[in-house]
Amino acid sequence: MSKPQWLPLIEQQLKENPKALSYAFSTLSEENKPKVRFVIHRGITSSALLLTTTDTRMSKPVHLAHSPTTEIAWWIENTNVQFRITGSAVTIPSSSADDEDKFKEAIKKLGVEGSEEGTKEYWVEKKKELWKSVSGHLRAGFGRPKPGTPLDQVPSSDTWPETIPAESDKPEEQKTIKFAYDNFAIIAIAPEAVEYLELKPIPNRRTQYKRQSNGEWEETKVAP
């Protein structure tokens, strides 16, 4: 399978705009209602899966278990381009203790069997890498009360961790890290269609890419 034509476009945009890392990520609720929120882009794998991270206790994993359907809207302000990416998203099992079958199911949904991303080990390592790459303040969020719980039902915020190290030798800290690490999960997105909208050129340009059943991508330029 050749490299999708849209991939170098995203890579180039990120090179020019290294801070443009947030995109709107939509899911379908269990009631089939659209839900959208911003997330941070955390990388693209060699099989062109987009990665972001979340807390397993949030709504996204529940929605994705119900339906992997997703659409992303990513506007890069400086260069005035938008990527609209449609596809399937999967929450990667967050614990390496989770059985092999859960990883196999996630890998199958993403269509990456037989590739680098097609093993449990790949995802266990990727999670470690991403955990280390985020700030201690962001890690602390995963050690706090369940997101969305009314504040009068959780311990006072004075007691919440402010920062959590990636790893520690101290047993007490190790407990906090383990709790937070178990709540931390990767979401992998397998694009099926990508639309690239360029608003700087006049007339504007709009290019659509669609994945074919043989894995190749078809490009169509359309009127903006």
Q: Which is nearer to ligand FMN, 6 or 25 (CB)?
A: 25
- Taking CB under 6 A as the rule, does residue 59 contact ligand FMN? yes
Site string for ligand FMN, 60-89 (x = CB under 6 A): x-----------------------------
Report d(CA 176, CA 31) in Å as an integer.
35
- Taking CB under 6 A as the rule, does residue 56 contact ligand FMN? no
Question: What single DSSP character describes residue 170?
Answer: S
Q: Which of 11, 12, 37, 218 binds ligand FMN (CB under 6 A)?
A: 37
Report d(CA 121, CA 93) in Å as an integer.
12
Amino acid letter, 21: L
Report d(CA 103, CA 82) in Å as an integer.
32
Report d(CA 71, CA 89) in Å as an integer.
9
Residue 74: count other Cβ atoms within 10 Å of its Cβ.
20
Q: Which is nearer to ligand FMN, 27 or 88 (CB)?
A: 27
Distance of CA 82 to the CA centre of its chain: 18
Stretch that binds ligand FMN, among 10-18, 54-62, 115-123, 176-184 (CB under 6 A): 54-62
Q: Which is nearer to ligand FMN, 111 or 185 (CB)?
A: 185
- Taking CB under 6 A as the rule, does residue 90 contact ligand FMN? no
Contact positions toward ligand FMN, by CB under 6 A?
22, 35, 37-40, 52-55, 58-60
